[in-house]
């Protein structure tokens, strides 16, 4: 599955209608500062299995990399446990377009794309649109800046 697919969830209101962040920007993985959940409690595996964001359930939680992840079912939780590097959003859930500019702008789970079997989340629809014009170049640029951005974040 090397195809590119992307989406903006119907009703960005999933998180109060905002793409501005309630996330802590001092963490290496974007974490909701109110709940402590990675990806605002959305299931990272669902983007691949359901082709879109789905809110996880507290019954299916997993602590990984210092944060709590939620899933819609046991199968998704198990898939993540077996290969978290595939399912975790690239750049820890930070917007790759912002990262390429040296900024840790938090991604929002309702503005997303999958490219080369990796999940990317974006701070805004505009950044997602810019990414989609040349995803490979955007990723190369973000990869170059990520060590600098990551080192400024609290472990």
C-alpha span between 105 and 98 (Å, rounded): 6
Lowest mean pLDDT among 26-40, 91-105, 115-129: 26-40
Binned at pLDDT 50, 70 and 90, residue 79 comes out as very high
Average pLDDT over residues 110-115: 97
Confidence at residue 24, expressed as pLDDT on a 0 to 100 scale: 44
Residue 94's DSSP bridge partners are 106
What's the whole-model pTM score?
0.84
Our CA angle for 19, 44, 138, nearest 5°, is 65
Mean pLDDT across 40-52 = 97
Helix or strand holding residue 153 (H, E): none
Output the pLDDT for position 28.
Answer: 85
Residue predicted with more confidence, 20 or 90: 90
pLDDT higher for 76 or 33?
76
Give the Å distances, CA to CA, from 57 to 1, 16, 54.
Answer: 27, 18, 9
Mean pLDDT, to the nearest integer, of 43-62? 97
Q: Return the bridge partners of 64, or none.
A: 67
| Residue 65 φ then ψ, to 5° | 55, 35
The whole-number average pLDDT for the span 107-125 is: 97
């Amino acid at each position: 599955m090397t195809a590119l697919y992307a989406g903006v969830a119907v009703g960005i209101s999933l998180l109060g209608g905002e793409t501005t962040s309630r996330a802590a920007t001092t963490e290496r993985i974007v974490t909701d500062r109110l709940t402590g959940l990675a990806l605002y409690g959305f299931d990272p595996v669902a983007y691949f299995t359901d082709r879109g964001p789905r809110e996880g359930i507290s019954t299916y939680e997993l602590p990984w990399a210092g944060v709590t992840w939620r899933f819609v079912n046991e199968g998704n939780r198990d898939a993540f446990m077996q290969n978290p590097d595939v399912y975790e959003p690239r750049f820890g859930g930070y917007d790759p377009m912002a990262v390429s500019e040296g900024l840790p702008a938090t991604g929002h789970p309702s503005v997303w794309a999958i490219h080369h079997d990796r999940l990317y989340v974006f701070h805004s629809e505009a950044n997602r649109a810019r990414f989609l014009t040349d995803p490979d170049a955007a990723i190369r640029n973000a990869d170059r800046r990520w060590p600098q951005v990551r080192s400024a974040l609290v472990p």
